[in-house]
Amino acid sequence: MQLARKRIIAAAIELIEADGVEAISMQRLATELGCGLMSLYNYVPSRNALLDGVADEIMSGVAWTYMPGASSQDQMRALGGALRQIASAHPRCAMLAASRRGGSLLRPAETMLATLQGAGFSGPDAVRIVRAFATYILGLLVCEVGVAPDDGDSAVSRLRPAQFPQLAELRLDLRASDVEGDLEFALDLLARATTASAS
Amino acid sequence: MQLARKRIIAAAIELIEADGVEAISMQRLATELGCGLMSLYNYVPSRNALLDGVADEIMSGVAWTYMPGASSQDQMRALGGALRQIASAHPRCAMLAASRRGGSLLRPAETMLATLQGAGFSGPDAVRIVRAFATYILGLLVCEVGVAPDDGDSAVSRLRPAQFPQLAELRLDLRASDVEGDLEFALDLLARATTASAS
DNA sequence: ACCTGAACACCGTTCAAGT
DNA sequence: ACCTGAACACCGTTCAAGT
Helix and strand tally (H, E) in chain A?
10, 0
Name the more confident of A181 and A45.
A45
Residues on chain B touching A131 (C-beta within 8 angstroms)? 143, 174, 182
By Cβ distance, the residue of A155, A193, A196 closest to B106 is A155
pLDDT for A59 equals 85
Question: In the predicted model, what is the mean pLDDT of residues A4-33?
Answer: 91
Is there a contact between B1 and B8 (Cβ–Cβ < 8 Å)? no
Closest C1' nucleotide to B23's CA: D11
Question: In the predicted model, what is the mean pLDDT of residues B160-183?
Answer: 64
Output the distance from A155 CA to C13 C1' rounded to whole Å: 40
Q: What is the pLDDT of residues A112-141, one digit of tens each?
A: 777 778 778 777 777 777 777 777 776 776
- Classify the phi-psi angles of A120: left when phi > 0, otherwise alpha if psi is within -120 to 50, otherwise beta: left
Residues on chain A touching B143 (C-beta within 8 angstroms)? 131, 135, 138
- Rounded CA-CA distance B195/B24 in Å is 44
CA distances from A83 to A43, A45, B37, B129 (A): 29, 29, 44, 21
Name the more confident of A70 and B93.
B93
Question: In the predicted model, what is the mean pLDDT of residues B33-38?
Answer: 92
pLDDT for B149 equals 35
pLDDT for A19 equals 87
Amino acid at B81: G
**Angstroms from B171 CA to nearest CA on chain A:** 10
Closest C1' nucleotide to A27's CA: C11
Q: A120 — phi, psi (to 5°)? A: 105, 0
For residue A40, name the pLDDT band (cuts at 50, 70, 90): very high
Question: In the predicted model, what is the mean pLDDT of residues B164-188?
Answer: 65
**CB pair distance less than 8 Å for B167 and A139:** no
pLDDT for B151 equals 31
Question: In the predicted model, what is the mean pLDDT of residues B121-138?
Answer: 75
pLDDT for B142 equals 63
pLDDT for B193 equals 58
Whether any strand D atom is under 7 angstroms from the Cβ of A38: the reply reads yes
pTM for this prediction: 0.74
Question: In the predicted model, what is the mean pLDDT of residues A61-74?
Answer: 70
pLDDT for A144 equals 62
Output the distance from A40 CA to C15 C1' rounded to whole Å: 16
Reply yes or no on whether the pLDDT at A178 is more than 70: no
**E strand intervals along A76-155:** none
Name the more confident of A147 and A155.
A155
Question: In the predicted model, what is the mean pLDDT of residues B27-37?
Answer: 92
pLDDT for A41 equals 95
CA-based nearest residue in chain A for residue B165: A110
Whether any strand C atom is under 7 angstroms from the Cβ of A22: the reply reads no
pLDDT for A74 equals 76
Least confident of A7-11, A51-55, B106-110, B166-170: B166-170
Reply yes or no on whether the pLDDT at A199 is more than 50: no
- How many alpha carbons fall within 13 Å on the CB side of residue A45? 2
Mutate to test the interface with B, among A47, A183, A189 (most CBs of B within 10 A): A189
Mutate to test the interface with A, among B76, B166, B197 (most CBs of A within 10 A): B166
Question: In the predicted model, what is the mean pLDDT of residues A88-111?
Answer: 77
Closest C1' nucleotide to B40's CA: C3
Name the more confident of A42 and A130.
A42
For residue B150, name the pLDDT band (cuts at 50, 70, 90): very low
Amino acid at B148: A
Name the more confident of A53 and B96.
A53
Mutate to test the interface with A, among B173, B177, B188 (most CBs of A within 10 A): B173
Least confident of A63-72, B104-113, B155-164: B155-164
Question: In the predicted model, what is the mean pLDDT of residues A12-31?
Answer: 91
pLDDT above 70 covers a percentage of chain A that reads: 62
- Rounded CA-CA distance A188/B190 in Å is 11
- Rounded CA-CA distance B159/B168 in Å is 7
Reply yes or no on whether the pLDDT at B119 is more than 60: yes
pLDDT for A64 equals 66
Least confident of A52-61, A86-95, B109-118, B130-139: B130-139
Closest C1' nucleotide to B4's CA: C2
Q: What is the pLDDT of residues B77-98, one digit of tens each?
A: 777 778 778 888 888 888 888 7
- Rounded CA-CA distance A25/B5 in Å is 32
Amino acid at A64: W
Q: Which of A126-135, B34-43, B65-74, B109-118 has the highest mean pLDDT?
A: B34-43
